[in-house]
Amino acid sequence: MNSFFERRYVIAGIFISIVFVLLVRLFYIQIIDQRYAIYANNNVRREIIHNAARGPILDRNGKVLVQNVPFYDIMVIPKQVKSFDTVEFCRLLGIDKAEFDKQWNKAIKYSPYLSSVFEKQLSITTYASLQERLSEFPGFYSATRYLRTYPDSVAAQFLGYIGEVLDRDIKRSNGYYHPGDYIGITGVEKSYETTLRGQRGVENLMVDSKGKPKGHYANGLYDTAAVAGQRLTSSLDINIQKLGEKLMQNKLGSIVAIEPSTGEILCYVSSPTYDPNLMVGRERGNNAAKLYANVYNPFFIRPIQAKYPPGSSFKPLSALIALQEGVITPTTSYYCPGYYYAGNQRIPCNKGESHGLVNLSSAVAKSCNGYFCMVFQKLLDHDGAKQTENTFINWRANVNKFGLGSKLGLDMPGEGRGNLPTPLHYDNIYKQGRWRSSTIISLAIGQGELEATPLQLANLECTIANHGYYYKPHLIKAIGAQNIIKKEYTERNYVGIDSQYFEPVINGMQAVVEDGTAIRSKIPGIIMCGKTGTAQNPHGEDHSVFVAFAPRVNPKIAIAVVVENSGEGAHWAAPIASFIVEKYLKGTISERESGITVDYYANANRLPDTALYLHHTMMKKKSKTNIPQKTQKDSVNKQLKGEKSVSRKNKKDTAAKVLAAQYLKKEEENE
């Protein structure tokens, strides 16, 4: 009897153990290990992702700058694929067996149980012929996606472009993005990605063993609809944008125009530019390679990444600081003999011209170097020579309030700071306490180590136009149907200069256009206040610079134009700026007394010689590469060695091209 009861407990224990093991295994399969759940679900349920259309981008007047065009991807779930005619499938897709194997292995590596892109961006013709027979290939199905199209092919650097997500994008998104998805890479597309991308939808279908849909899973209870991305209304005016790109063709440089009363960017030209449609579609990679090979670098966003000495365009700012600090008054005079001595340095006025007796306004109008060197030395020597570093720190802080030497916070990636030198910089060169105002006198006329981006120069003009404040420059003026405006764009940024000090400076800027250096760019019926500049360039011909705002009363537009390697500001930058200003304010461009025309400037070619530009680019960028100078020379000599009798000029040109090739390769690696 006792033996029976013992056996009963043993048998019960065995059964309980078996049940326990089965329960644990079932728990592991259903809760912990997702592979079986995925595989089981995929046998009867297919999750179809419906990609949302990206939001369109409009210009300030509602003109479409960017919109969508649908295309089709072929997706695959490897575990659902059964035997099929591979040759026929390849024929329908227009690929060969090697490409099929490559894509198949890629899909297996990603996941046997999850869907991934097998073949992307099918044309409508290819998709139409394949769609009718797609059910013959279980495990494969189509998905609709959207690419961008640019009706007017303008503002490439402003808008940016989209591209397929990389592994790092997928990881950063916490599961939002999947292979084959698209994301903003540059420009507005990148900075407003979360607004533009919308929300994808999900459709859960019941399928049979052949992969044919048999209705919605749970009667569509878990389905969600795709929500299109929000519309962006940009601040850009497409009319002056087109004109700006026309005027800057075959030139290096940029145009930035801003509405002073809002900070909205009206025109944003980076030259050379490119057709943004080239960065869309199956040929995108080949087109990008050609653009990267362009020695003038169309992908370089000059309005915010290029930096130049502001030259004489800096003089009004210098005058404003001196007025606020009380070291000069509007009537402070100076006799200009055509030069200025700072210590043992002789600084000539433009072309050595003697301006005679000048005051603040006439010094601005005549761009007298001597006057502003005198102003700068008064500022820095105000507390004595031994306090130069302290007064320089104060001067630097005042300049920085205008937005120079720091990012303005533009709603676009890649903005540069320009360069506003620090005391430490001069300590490292001259040793602490060994430098004086005369040592750094070039800053007085916007030269030396001082550098600004075109965006900063245009923003400076907004500040002068507004008599002491600016609004944060921005590219997007409204978001969505509700036209939401970010609060930060409605706040004034004051620069610490009392409003009464602006009038004498503006008087001089008006005289620049009315009867001064920019008189050839005078606009009939419009009072434009401006300042020409010639930015010294140690690597070639000086850069032509012009900054302005108009009209004088209630200004509607502030502008900065830089034309590289083109000499004085009056010759190229000023006329181009005047055409943009008149087009924006009047809608047309009138005949000028000076005889200048849009066609002349649009058709002029100011591109520097390719070989020379390559050489100068390398000399300028050399310090930013990891290729030591000796290594560069050795590499060049090695590639030149063995060439048959080459002329000295050709040898220099070839050397420049080799150096440029090294630099471009390095730049691509850093992208």
DSSP assignment of 100-142 equals HHHHHHHHHHH-SSS-EEEEEEE-HHHHHHHHTTGGGSTTEEE
Phi, psi of 444 (to 5 degrees): -60, -30
Helices (H), 466-549: 502-515
- Which of 506, 228, 476 is CA-nearest to residue 365? 506
- Name the E strands within 492-649: 492-494, 529-535, 543-550, 557-563
Judge contact between 528 and 584, C-beta under 8 A. no
**pLDDT of 115:** 83
Cis status, amide bond into 272, omega within 30 of 0 = yes
Residue 444 token pair: 């007085």
The rounded mean pLDDT for the chain is 86
User: Residue 28: CB partners within 8 Å, gap ≥ 6?
Assistant: none
> How far, rounded to the nearest angstrom, does the alpha carbon of residue 186 sit from its chain's CA centroid?
6
Judge contact between 458 and 257, C-beta under 8 A. yes
| pLDDT > 70: percent of the chain | 87
Alpha-carbon distances of 330 from 313, 364, 465, rounded to whole Å: 19, 11, 18
**pLDDT of 68:** 92
Residue 528, pLDDT > 80, answer yes
Residue 338 token pair: 């055509």
DSSP string of 377-443, one letter each residue: HHHHTTT-GGGHHHHHHHHHHHHHHTTTTS----SSTT----B---HHHHHHHH-TT---TTTTGGG
3-state DSSP call for residue 556? coil
How far, in Å, CA of 485 to CA of 480, rounded? Answer: 10
3-state DSSP call for residue 453? coil
Residue 141, pLDDT > 80, answer yes
| pLDDT > 90: percent of the chain | 61
Buried/exposed code over 322-352 (b: 16+ C-beta within 10 A; e: otherwise): bbebebbebebebebebbbebeeeebebbee
Burial of 29 (0-12, 13-18, 19+ CB in 10 A): middle
**pLDDT of 150:** 95
How far, in Å, CA of 156 to CA of 423, rounded? Answer: 39
How far, in Å, CA of 150 to CA of 57, rounded? Answer: 10
Question: Of residues 671 and 251, which shows the higher confidence score?
Answer: 251
**pLDDT of 210:** 56
Residue 64 token pair: 């479409």
**pLDDT of 490:** 93
How far, in Å, CA of 112 to CA of 81, rounded? Answer: 10
Residue 39, pLDDT > 70, answer no
**pLDDT of 628:** 39
Residue 575, pLDDT > 90, answer yes
- Which of 459, 470, 474 is CA-nearest to residue 547? 459
Quick: pLDDT tens for 440-459: 999 999 999 999 999 999 99
Residue 511 token pair: 């005289």
3-state DSSP call for residue 261? coil
List the single range of 191-195, 355-359, 481-485, 645-649 with lowest mean pLDDT. 645-649
Residue 602 token pair: 């649009």
Quick: pLDDT tens for 627-665: 333 333 333 333 333 333 334 434 444 444 444 444 334
| pLDDT band per the 50, 70, 90 thresholds, residue 625 | very low
**pLDDT of 48:** 76
Residue 452 token pair: 């600004």
Quick: pLDDT tens for 202-222: 888 777 665 566 777 777 778
| pLDDT band per the 50, 70, 90 thresholds, residue 20 | confident
Question: Of residues 645 and 66, which shows the higher confidence score?
Answer: 66
Topology of the domain covering 46-233: Penicillin-binding protein 2a (Domain 2) (3.90.1310)
Question: Of residues 80 and 158, which shows the higher confidence score?
Answer: 158
Taking the CA atoms of residue 372, residue 378, residue 379 and residue 385 in that order, the dihedral angle to the nearest 10 degrees is 130
Residue 139 token pair: 């495990």
Q: Kindly state the DSSP code that residue 505 receives in the 8-state scheme.
A: H
Superfamily of domain 304-603 in the CATH hierarchy = DD-peptidase/beta-lactamase superfamily (3.40.710.10)
The amino acid sitting at 545 is V
User: Residue 621: CB partners within 8 Å, gap ≥ 6?
Assistant: 663
3-state DSSP call for residue 277? helix
Residue 165 token pair: 């997500």
Alpha-carbon distances of 25 from 15, 20, 29, rounded to whole Å: 15, 9, 6
3-state DSSP call for residue 192? coil
**pLDDT of 110:** 87
List the single range of 16-30, 109-123, 194-208, 651-665 with lowest mean pLDDT. 651-665
**pLDDT of 44:** 67
Taking the CA atoms of residue 611, residue 616, residue 617 and residue 621 in that order, the dihedral angle to the nearest 10 degrees is 150
Question: Of residues 113 and 580, which shows the higher confidence score?
Answer: 580
Put simply, whether the predicted model's pTM sits higher than 0.85 gets the answer: no
- Which of 579, 544, 595, 551 is CA-nearest to residue 565? 544
Residue 667, pLDDT > 60, answer no
Quick: pLDDT tens for 398-452: 999 999 999 999 999 999 999 999 999 999 999 998 999 999 999 999 999 999 9
How far, in Å, CA of 57 to CA of 52, rounded? Answer: 15
Q: How many residues would you count in the chain?
A: 671
Question: Of residues 25 and 607, which shows the higher confidence score?
Answer: 607
CB atoms under 10 Å from CB of 65, counted, come to: 25
How far, in Å, CA of 202 to CA of 146, rounded? Answer: 16
Phi, psi of 462 (to 5 degrees): -60, -40
